[in-house]
Amino acid sequence: MDGSAKWSGVMAAVCTLAAAAVALVLLAVLPPEPTGSSHLMYGPQAVVAGGVLGGAFWWALVERPGRPTTGRAILAGFLVGLLAHPLMWAWYFVVGPLYLPVERMGPAVAAGTALKVSVASVLFFGWLTVPVAVVCGWVVVRFRRRALE
């Protein structure tokens, strides 16, 4: 991996952190849940889901195929912004009960619940997560292509 690829990895990490900051601000301003708990407990799952998918899609769609293109970077951002929701909720309902005040449920029920909640999550928050991730992909590919010139 050349130096510019490492630089794009750093930029992708910065974009993930910026998107996480936006998510945390949104979660902080939402009214508390009926149980009284804060929405900020979803933050770690959102950051990890975005980071894991961001790295995977960036490598698979932008770095590995050859010369980075704007279209592939935007596609990677779109997929991250859309698919981070199901990954976040799957983690929340499957792993969350180990360290969060979440009701324990069987794996099949947890997966079904995660799927239902992620559809609602995409509908309510996807309008923000998808464009933010697309812009992040576009910004990182601009720096990456400039480094290659």
Question: Which pLDDT score is estimated for 5?
Answer: 61
pTM, two decimals, is 0.78
* Alpha helices, DSSP H, located in 30-106: 43-58, 70-94
Which whole number is the average pLDDT over 20-34? 68
Question: Which pLDDT score is estimated for 82?
Answer: 92
Domain that holds residue 123: 3-148
Query: What does the mean pLDDT of the chain come to?
Result: 79
What CA–CA distance (Å, rounded) separates 16 from 19?
5
Could you report the per-residue pLDDT of 99-128, keeping only the tens digit for each? 766 777 887 888 888 899 899 989 988 888
Could you report the per-residue pLDDT of 61-102, keeping only the tens digit for each? 888 777 788 999 999 999 998 999 999 888 888 877 777 667
3-state helix, strand, coil in the chain (%, to 5): 80, 0, 20
Total domains in the chain come to 1
What CA–CA distance (Å, rounded) separates 122 from 117?
9
For 31, other C-beta atoms within 10 Å of its C-beta total 7
Q: How confident is the model at residue 2 (pLDDT cuts 50, 70, 90)?
A: low
Question: Which pLDDT score is estimated for 68?
Answer: 83
Q: Which of 53, 82, 65, 83 is nearest to 144 (CA)?
A: 65
